[in-house]
Amino acid sequence: MPFMESSERIRPKKSLGQNFLKDPHFLDKIVAAAQVGPEDRVLEIGAGLGHLTRALAVRARHVLALELDARLIPHLHAIFDGVPNVQIEQCDALAYPFETLAGTWKIVANLPYYISTPLIQRLLQYRNRFNSITLLLQKEVAERIASPPGSKEYGYLSVLVQLYAEPRIEFMVPAGAFTPVPDVDSAVITLMIRSHPSVPLANRDFLMRLVKAAFSQRRKTLRNSLKQLGISGRKMDTVLVATGIDPGRRAETLSVSEFSKLSDYLREEDPEKGQ
């Protein structure tokens, strides 16, 4: 597959968190981790200088590459001019209409730290469009996503992702593989989208409100951290006894299943219910 070259020198923008991965060894490993094949449609978020886009285009049926930085669009068009299975689009992934995508896609992305959590949340809202999401992230964020209950990294993002996907850390990427060299190491993680949530959901919005409240004051016990939901302490004690959850436990010790059970019981007492 022929690719054009561009001689334009582009300096990474610190404000956009741009760290370009050029190492072919790690680029190939990312494509392999995403299990991209000749029948796959791939949505790449953050095409950058097009290095990962090239590796994807060799394997995939179609690559839709999104890039926020308008400076990079002419560079990308120059490289992929005449490559029929690559489409370049300038847009903000946080505003992209994922609901307009036809068929099922695989997501592959090299995400800057500042966008990773809100974008993951948004992608999971449209999870019916994707069967897998493979992300190059700051190592600490990837570890947080995959962390089990009881670990210090386990938190709101862990519960949210594990509710809808099976996360798997694939491999680490050292800082030296990027240009410019970031201050942190990175990791590639794959989220295999579940056909159904990992636990029954009576009310997803209330569940996530509860999880957010529990982790907002993670040093406090559940009984104290959940007061912000507006449910009386007496009712909270009754619910905790009914669910078999010790009120002295902290949020990081609860499994996704336990959060779901607690949510179902507390939902009936939610002051905002019916509003």
Angle at CA of residue 74, ends 72 and 78, nearest 5°? 115
Q: Which tokens in the block code for residue 167?
A: 């996360």
Q: Where are the beta strands (DSSP E) in 46-164?
A: 62-67, 86-90, 105-110, 130-138
Domain that holds residue 111: 14-193
State how far the Cα of 166 lies from the Cα of 193, in Å rounded to an integer: 7
pLDDT in tens, 46-82: 998 999 999 999 999 999 999 999 989 999 999 999 9
Per the model's pLDDT, the better-predicted residue between 89 and 232 turns out to be 89
Percent of the chain with pLDDT over 70: 91
pLDDT in tens, 250-262: 999 999 999 999 9
Q: Is residue 16 scored above 60 in pLDDT?
A: no
- Which CATH number characterizes residue 148's domain? 3.40.50.150
- Which CATH number characterizes residue 252's domain? 1.10.8.100
Last residue of a domain, one of 193, 223, 253: 193
Last residue of a domain, one of 193, 213, 228: 193
Find out whether the peptide bond into 180 is cis, omega within 30 degrees of 0.
yes
Q: Is residue 4 scored above 50 in pLDDT?
A: no
State how far the Cα of 273 lies from the Cα of 221, in Å rounded to an integer: 24
Q: Are residues 210 and 169 in the same domain?
A: no
Q: Are residues 137 and 40 in the same domain?
A: yes
Q: Are residues 175 and 119 in the same domain?
A: yes
Last residue of a domain, one of 166, 193, 220: 193
- First CA to last CA distance, the chain: 57
Percent of the chain with pLDDT over 90: 64
Q: How many domains does the chain have?
A: 2
- Residues 6 or more apart whose Cβ sits within 8 Å of residue 202: 263, 264, 267
The Cβ of residue 109 has, within 10 Å, a number of other Cβ atoms equal to: 24
